[in-house]
């Protein structure tokens, strides 16, 4: 059984998940025939990459996002 990651490790894991999602959405976008649909999906993929980069910056700065079970949310 995997132990849940915490702190910077958890934030880094979230960033990696966003990068993976970006790649999934980009692959789907490339299969779309409608230019408007393709453009929207590529925009979503870019948003995932942007979120991953923001999380990477948090990790580099030694910060983290609150855990989802954090009562402060």
Supply the pTM of this predicted model: 0.75
Domain residue ranges in the chain: 7-60
CA–CA–CA angle 66, 20, 40 (5° rounding): 100
pLDDT number for residue 63: 73
pLDDT number for residue 60: 86
Q: What is the DSSP letter of 1?
A: -
Q: What is the pLDDT of residues 13-70, one digit of tens each?
A: 999 999 999 999 999 999 999 999 999 999 999 999 999 999 999 888 887 666 656 4
pLDDT number for residue 3: 44
Distances (CA, A) of 31 to 17, 28, 37, 70: 22, 5, 10, 39
CB 12 within 8 A of CB 63: no
**How far apart are alpha carbons 23 and 44 in whole angstroms?**
10
pLDDT number for residue 1: 40
């Amino acid at each position: 059984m995997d132990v849940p990651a915490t702190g910077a490790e958890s934030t880094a894991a979230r960033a990696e998940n966003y990068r993976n999602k970006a790649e999934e959405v980009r692959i789907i976008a490339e299969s779309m025939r409608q230019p408007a649909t393709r453009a929207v999906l590529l925009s979503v993929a870019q948003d995932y990459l942007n979120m991953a980069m923001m999380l990477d910056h948090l990790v580099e700065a030694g910060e983290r996002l609150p855990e989802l079970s954090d009562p402060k949310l």
